[in-house]
Structure 1
Amino acid sequence: MGDASDLNVTEPDRRLDARRNRDAVIAAAIRILATDPEASMRRIAEESGVARITVYRHFPTREHLIQVLIDLVVEEERAVVATAITPDATAAAVFNRLGPGIIRVGERYRFLDNRPDRGAEAPLRRPDANEPLLIWLTEAAGRGELRTDLPPEWMYAMIHGLGRAANEEVLVGRRTADEAGRLLSRTLTHAFVARRDG
Structure 2
Amino acid sequence: MSGSSERAQRADAQRNVEAILAAAIRVLARDPKASVSVIAKEAGVGRVTLYGHFPNRAAVIAAAVDRALAQTTAAIDAARLDEGDPFEALARLVDASWSVTHQHGALLVAAERILPVDELSFAHAEPMAAAEAVFARGQRSGAFRDDISTGWLVTLLHSVTHGASTAVHEGGIDAEDAPRLILATMVGAVTPPGREVPVVGGQVAESVP
Look up the match of 2:206: none
In structure 2, do the counterparts of structure 1 residues 121 and 29 end up closer, same or farther at CA, with 3 Å as the change threshold?
A: same
Look up the match of 2:98: 103
Look up the match of 1:30: 25
Q: Which runs of 5+ in 2 are unaligned?
A: 197-209
Which shows bigger deviation, 162-171 or 46-55?
A: 46-55
Following superposition, the deviation at residue 138 of structure 1 comes to 2.5
What is the aligned counterpart of 2:63 among 68, 74, 83? Answer: 68
Alpha-carbon deviations, 1:127-162, whole Å to 9, x = none? 47x933333333332232322212222222221121
**SS in structure 2 of the partner of residue 140 of structure 1:** helix
In structure 2, do the counterparts of structure 1 residues 10 and 38 end up closer, same or farther at CA, with 3 Å as the change threshold?
A: same
Alignment of 1:43-62 (within 5 A): 43-62=38-57
**TM-score (normalised: structure 2):** 0.73
Alignment of 1:155-170 (within 5 A): 155-170=153-168
**SS in structure 2 of the partner of residue 156 of structure 1:** helix
Query: Number of aligned pairs?
Result: 192
**CA distance, structure 1, for counterparts of residue 10 and residue 137 of structure 2:** 40
RMSD (CA atoms) = 3.3
**CA distance, structure 2, for counterparts of residue 40 and residue 184 of structure 1:** 33
Look up the match of 2:186: 188
Following superposition, the deviation at residue 168 of structure 1 comes to 0.9
**Percent identity for Structure 1 against Structure 2:** 28
In structure 2, do the counterparts of structure 1 residues 70 and 120 end up closer, same or farther at CA, with 3 Å as the change threshold?
A: closer
In structure 2, do the counterparts of structure 1 residues 172 and 148 end up closer, same or farther at CA, with 3 Å as the change threshold?
A: same
Following superposition, the deviation at residue 109 of structure 1 comes to 1.8
Following superposition, the deviation at residue 186 of structure 1 comes to 1.0
**CA distance, structure 1, for counterparts of residue 28 and residue 105 of structure 2:** 9
- For the Cα contact (< 8 Å) 2:65–2:111, is it kept in 1? no
**TM-score (normalised: structure 1):** 0.76
**CA distance, structure 2, for counterparts of residue 152 and residue 68 of structure 1:** 30
**CA distance, structure 2, for counterparts of residue 135 and residue 170 of structure 1:** 28
In structure 2, do the counterparts of structure 1 residues 27 and 183 end up closer, same or farther at CA, with 3 Å as the change threshold?
A: same
- For the Cα contact (< 8 Å) 2:20–2:39, is it kept in 1? yes
Which structure is higher in RCO with an 8 Å CA cutoff and minimum separation 6?
A: 1
Alignment of 1:3-42 (within 5 A): 6-9=2-5, 16-42=11-37
Look up the match of 1:125: 121
- For the Cα contact (< 8 Å) 1:37–1:115, is it kept in 2? yes
Look up the match of 1:81: 76
Letter in 2 for 1:38: K
Letter in 1 for 2:3: L
Alpha-carbon deviations, 1:167-196, whole Å to 9, x = none? 111111100012111000111111124468
User: Is 1:91 aligned with 2:86?
Assistant: yes
Following superposition, the deviation at residue 90 of structure 1 comes to 1.4
